[in-house]
Amino acid sequence: MSQNASSTSVDIGIIAIDADIALRRMIIHHPASKGTVLLLHGFPETIYAWKDIALVLGDDYEVHAFDWPGFGLSSRPPADRFAYAPKDYARVLKNYVDQSGIDRSKLTIYATDIGALPALLLALDEPDIARSIIVSDFAPFNRPVARLFLGDVGSLPIGLLVGWMLYHVADSGPLAAALLLPLYYCADATITLLRRLVRRERLWQAHRTHFYQRALANGYSALAVSREVFALNVALAALAASAFLWRTPGAQVALLIIGAVAVTLVLYRFSRPRGGQVVVERSVEP
């Protein structure tokens, strides 16, 4: 941290924003701040997700962060009094800004994941809520003409939900259906992991070697990649539905083979340069 850090102070406490909700918050005070930054965490995080970032920003800014209702040590009001919907979180955000006495004209809100939609909804109702709002890891923005894939957006809750649903499919229906539905993603992740192990790469480092990422480097547009993966998933879903109709062992194996061939063809296409391009593969993001 810079020399300015010696004059900052960290305050972690509780603030009541209305009769039902008290929020745990963290404030890094700066005696001569350039403005205020409010950090809104995602799922399933708390204010401690921002600890290191907040300390760095605290060299120049007053920094705020709080646990959303239902997270961390903030209140968990009953559902009949608080619906835990984006509009309810937007009201929480407004009340926090007002109760904390933050100067809106000097406020920058940085929102990620589930914190993004409440910030945007509040901005629609009150455009002066902040000088600027920065949104990241928000799935509706991750679409063409976007040029990057936000691969981790919602990955934990979506992964847990899909895993639970596939478990029930395998338990009560044909196993082939549970294997076919996630086949593309499992194949991409498994092959990519094995390739990185063979190359002795550090698995915890950022990389761009998933097949859909290699496709971008090989000349595909984000829209073209999305189209091909979507079409493949539709085909796999049709095969999975067929597995419920034809439950003989031979039919199940045949459907799995067809699905594996379809996935292999797409992965192969993604791994090859498009239009005669020569591509140098990078394993770590610049």
pLDDT for 153: 54
The yes-or-no verdict on residue 162 having pLDDT over 50 is: yes
Q: What's the whole-number mean pLDDT along residues 17-44?
A: 93
Long-range contact pairs involving 278-281 (C-beta distance under 8 Å, separation at least 24): 279/217, 279/218, 279/219, 281/209, 281/214, 281/217
User: What pTM, to 2 d.p., does this model score?
Assistant: 0.58
5 pLDDT band (50/70/90 cuts)?
very low
Q: In what order do the strands lie in the sheet with 132-136?
A: 9-16, 22-29, 62-66, 36-40, 107-112, 132-136
Do residues 168 and 73 share a domain? no
Q: Is residue 147 part of a domain?
A: no
Please report the pLDDT score of residue 173 as a whole number: 86
Q: Are residues 16 and 134 in the same domain?
A: yes
* pLDDT mean across residues, the chain: 87
* Percentage of the chain exceeding pLDDT 90: 64
Residue 114 has pLDDT above 70, yes or no: yes
Give CA–CA dist 13/185, Å, rounded.
Answer: 42
Q: Is the pLDDT of residue 71 over 90?
A: yes
Query: Do 41 and 90 reside in the same domain of the chain?
Result: yes
Tokens 């190359």 correspond to 199
How many helices (H) and strands (E) the chain has is answered by 9, 6
The predicted pLDDT at position 108 comes to 97
State the average pLDDT over residues 192-201. Answer: 93
Last residue of a domain, one of 141, 169, 201: 141
> Do 133 and 237 share a structural domain?
no
On the question of pLDDT at 267 being above 90, the answer is: yes
Same domain, 108 and 230: no
Q: Report if residue 237 sits inside a domain.
A: yes
Which pLDDT band, with edges at 50, 70 and 90, does 102 fall under? very high
Specify if 284 maps to a domain.
no
Say which DSSP state 204 is in.
T
The answer on 167 and 118 residing in a single domain is: no
* Closest C-alpha to 68, from 87, 50, 45, 97: 45
The 8-class DSSP code of residue 51 comes to: H
pLDDT band at 44 (very low <50, low <70, confident <90, very high): confident
Number of domains in the chain: 2
pLDDT, position 158: 73
- Domain residues for the domain of 187 are 155-276
pLDDT at residue number 26:
96
Residue 188 lies in a domain: yes
Q: What is the domain-level CATH number for residue 40?
A: 3.40.50.1820
d(CA 60, CA 64): 13
Of 141, 174, 190, which closes a domain? 141
What's the average model confidence in pLDDT over 224-232?
92
Tell me, yes or no, whether 113 and 65 share the same domain: yes
H/E run at residue 233? helix 222-245
